């Protein structure tokens, strides 16, 4: 019932038009789609956020349960909810870094990752290869830092300059400000 009331109020402010009517309401405080639940809540003053958990269009129940546990910990830590904390990063050995090293494509072609998310890598370790349409290797990609794989390109094709892999690593910064290493 709360959702319906909030949704209808947000809809009324935009003249009662629905998403399927193909009209774009003016942007108001970052709200784009009146049918999105968190936008309806925010529009009527109810704090809300939208979690984006895991890969697009994939139901990952394990990741959802981890997200819920972590979110509950954050809410408890800030006193929004009462109760004992669940597992934390210290309990499960989370790798903590302060920098992400990007590995960018230098050629066009098809990318084959040689590492998975969260794999530990060392400097000089090959993390991906790229082939042309004939199957010939046109590029090898190696890590220049020791750390953990934090991100992988999901599209098998790539053009020069596309990020292929991000390596999370710990780097001491002289002034505490990190720049994007290239």
Q: What is the pLDDT of residues 65-121, one digit of tens each?
A: 989 998 999 889 888 889 999 998 889 888 889 899 999 999 999 999 999 999 999
User: Do 150 and 125 share a structural domain?
Assistant: yes
Contact between 159 and 107 under an 8 Å Cβ cutoff? The reply is no
User: Do 104 and 85 share a structural domain?
Assistant: no
Alpha-carbon gap, residue 173 to 146, rounded angstroms: 16
- Give SS3 for 34: coil
**For position 139, which CATH number holds?**
2.40.50.100
Domain count, the chain: 3
Q: What's the 3-state SS for 15-71?
A: CCCCHHHCCCCCCECCECCCCCHHHHHHHCCCCCCCCCCCCCCCCCHHHHHHHHHHH
* The predicted structure's pLDDT at residue 72: 92
Domain that holds residue 116: 99-169
pLDDT digit string (tens) for 152-168? Answer: 999 999 999 999 999 99
Q: Strand pairing of 157-158 and 163-169? A: unpaired
Tokens representing 142 are 């190696």
User: Do 83 and 108 share a structural domain?
Assistant: no
User: Do 103 and 87 share a structural domain?
Assistant: no
Q: What are phi and psi of 125, to 5 degrees?
A: -75, 130
Residue 180 falls within a domain, yes or no?
Answer: no
User: Do 141 and 107 share a structural domain?
Assistant: yes
User: Do 76 and 103 share a structural domain?
Assistant: no
Tokens representing 79 are 């006193």
Residue 145 falls within a domain, yes or no?
Answer: yes
Contact between 181 and 99 under an 8 Å Cβ cutoff? The reply is yes
């Amino acid at each position: 019932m709360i959702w319906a009331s909030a949704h209808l109020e947000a809809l009324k402010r935009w003249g009662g038009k629905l998403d399927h009517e193909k009209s774009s309401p003016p942007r108001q405080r970052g709200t784009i789609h009146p049918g999105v639940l968190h936008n309806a809540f925010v529009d009527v003053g109810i704090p809300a956020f939208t979690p984006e958990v895991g890969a697009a269009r994939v139901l990952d129940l394990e990741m959802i349960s981890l997200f819920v546990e972590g979110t509950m910990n954050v809410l408890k830590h800030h006193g929004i909810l009462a109760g004992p904390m669940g597992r934390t990063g210290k309990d499960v050995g989370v790798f903590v870094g302060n920098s992400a090293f990007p590995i960018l494509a230098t050629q066009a072609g098809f990318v084959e990752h040689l590492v998975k998310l969260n794999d530990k890598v060392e400097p000089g370790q090959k993390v991906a290869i790229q082939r042309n349409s004939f199957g010939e290797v046109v590029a090898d990609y190696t890590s220049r830092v020791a750390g953990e794989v934090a991100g992988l390109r999901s599209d098998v094709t790539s053009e020069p300059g596309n990020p292929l892999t991000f390596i999370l690593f710990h780097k001491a910064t002289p002034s505490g400000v990190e720049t994007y290493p290239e």
